Amino acid sequence: MPLGRRRHFKASGGKRDKKERSFRRFFLLGWRRDIKAVISIIDVLVLTSLWEGSPLVFLEAMCLSKPIVAYDICGASELVKDNVNGFLVLPKDTEGLALKVNLLLENREVCDRMKKFASIVISREDLSLKFMIESLDKLYSSSVTNAG
């Protein structure tokens, strides 16, 4: 099915049948290899997970300048700066989540500002591959030094 100007959801995990019944007006895409193509056509990334640490999809969305709406769970605030490159709401606050999504979909100015900041946040030095490699190297070196 080609992607177009509709509401698309990617649902996975348990209770998929229940999710599909809840979203009959929407397309549940399931697992996709072409995540860049999917993210490139969305206006807002919404993540309702309560269990992920630092979801890779946040980085993927920010690389494509997409604002994020998610629950304020462990790790989310390291990448999503509330009211800067997205919104964080209290876990399980579905009404708050919906309000923030609607705000971004209805207010182009706010959405565009957050898109700009999404690409700025992703360019932080501490998210670069070089920084990650250097940090791991220091960790391994200190572990060897402390063990010997």
Domain ranges across the chain: 32-147
Sheet with strand 45-47: strands edge to edge: 45-47, 68-71, 86-89
Per-residue pLDDT of the chain (148 residues; tens, 9 = 90+): 344 444 555 555 555 555 555 455 566 777 888 989 999 999 999 999 898 777 788 989 999 999 999 999 988 988 899 999 999 999 999 999 999 999 999 999 999 999 999 988 777 666 667 777 887 888 888 887 776 6
How far, in Å, CA of 72 to CA of 92, rounded? 10
Q: Which CATH architecture has domain 32-147?
A: 3-Layer(aba) Sandwich (3.40)
